Amino acid sequence: MNSIIAEVEKKFQKKDKPGGFQIGDNVDVHVRIIEGDKERVQIFSGTVIKIKGRQNNLRSTFTVRRIVSGEGVERVFPYHSPSIVKVEVRRTGKARRAKLYFLRDRVGKATKVKERREEEGVEGQAPALSKKEAEAVTT
Amino acid sequence: MTTTAATRSKRKALLGRKIGMTQAYREDGKWVPITVLEVGPCTVLQVKTPETDGYAAIQVGFGETLKAAAWPQQKLFQKVKTRTKKFVQEIPPVEAATVYRAPLFSEVGGTVEYLHLTPGGNLIEKKVPRTKLILRAVKSQPAAAPVEGKESEAAPAGGQEPAAPQAPDAPSAALAVKNMSGSVLKEYALPPGSSIEVANGATVADGDLLAYVVVKEPVAQVSPGCQIGVGLFTGTGRVDVSGITKGKGFQGCIKRHHFNAGPKSHGSKNLREPGSTGMHTEPGRVLPGKRMPGHLGAAKRKARNLKVLQIDPEDNLMLVTGSVPGPNGGFVYIEESLKKK
């Protein structure tokens, strides 16, 4: 890429971009919404089924899937979007794939991703938990 | 260099280059496609006045090349002591407050184009690709950051004294190569007592200016040799950008005039044909202006009312929404929009 364009893109990158979640995690995404002249924060909670691109890339996104009244809803969030306030991890998930597209074919209880625990991390291929996540699991 | 309507208008205008396209976020979190333009600095080559030329305009040049221009133009460049400019156009007169004087490359370093770092048998050849690239030999303590801040660009011209006072008995030296946004591209540590040799044989001591540094000095009057940067467009909401579109060669009616293609099957022999070109014996000829295959592209086109997202006077960058004509690196003419503000 042209170095000047890279410099320009760097300026648009968020310094406090959301992070700390992995594929399969159940997250709450806090999105800033502007209605007329009012501004409020909406929460979209679901499972992270896709993380696209590196986070230092301006165009990187993550996809969150949830079931709303029996219908699957997926929302794509750009990491660097100014409208994303924060992302909270509700429940860590154990995933052996980088993209959890198979969840789209599942209904009901089968859509649940197994919870990621430290012991399972050793036997499975799930990455070891960071300190923060370990706390989240125990609490 | 012709007198166009644009030159007679009072719209702010400047020359530039299309860097390329990318995306950016608006404040409300929405994506917008943007084009990055390098706008100026343009060197004033000639100031035309109603008294001498019948109209008021400023002839400016943009884009340096080492090649010689045609003789009449070459004399013009020599007069203002500048390199040959690839893109020369006339713009409407501007106020002197928006113009500044910067030491021209030829005034500062002349032929400093290749640098050889000889000490320690460490021969490095570095071409200076952009006039904005700052090459500076900086004396420093080993632990201290040897990089000069952006403030150094406001140092007095002439080039023999760096802005930051350096200890004369500093144990080691370093050469910092910075890019236009001030971040260090590469740093060369030099052994104590070393010197930097320039390709033309001259020896440069520590702290000497090695290449072009943008120093903006205000001027009272617009005169040849002055520079106009993107700061001219401060406060401008929308711009028109014109350039030469990419050449497409000889194209058919479908690509060139958006004709509809014929059916692909059922024995059709009319897939991409232009169809009928007219009537019968009356009038017995093809009417002028009939749209037909032919050469497409490589023509001057103007993208109008592009919103200016950002202006960066330091780096002479302008971010506009949407696309502009021409390839990346192509020259463009940027002017204030007429229709929308």
pLDDT at A49: 92
pLDDT, tens digit (0-9, with 9 covering 90-100), for B293-320: 999 999 999 999 999 998 988 778 899 9
pLDDT at res. B298? 93
Report the run of H or E that residue B240 belongs to, with start and end: strand B238-244
Please give the ipTM for the structure prediction: 0.71
- Reading the block at residue A116, the tokens are 């990621």
Q: Do B36 and A8 touch (CB under 8 A)?
A: yes
H/E element, B140 = strand B134-140
Sign of CA dihedral A58, A63, A64, A68: positive
Please report, as a single letter, which amino acid is at residue B6. A
Instruction: Report the distance separating Cα A7 and Cα B31, nearest Å.
Output: 18
How many A/B residue pairs have CB atoms within 8 Å? Answer: 45
Query: How far apart, in whole angstroms, are the C-alpha atoms of residue A19 and residue A133?
Result: 12
Specify burial of residue B192 (Cβ count, 10 A radius: 0-12, 13-18, 19+).
exposed
Predicted pLDDT of residue B125 = 37
Q: Tell me which chain B residues have a C-beta less than 8 angstroms from the C-beta of A4.
A: 19-20, 36, 38, 180, 315, 317
The pLDDT assigned to B176 comes to: 52
Quick check: pTM over 0.80? Answer: no
The residues that bridge with B321 in the sheet, in sequence order, are B34
Chain A CB contacts of B23 below 8 Å = 58-59
Q: Contact B36/A84, CB-based, under 8 Å?
A: no
Nearest to B25 among A2, A5, A81 (CB): A81
Name the residue among B29, B317, B328 with its Cβ closest to that of A83.
B29
pLDDT tens readout for residues B180-239:
444 454 555 554 554 444 444 444 444 444 443 345 667 778 888 888 888 889 888 899
The H or E element spanning position B107 is helix B105-108
The pLDDT score that the predictor gives to residue B103 is: 55
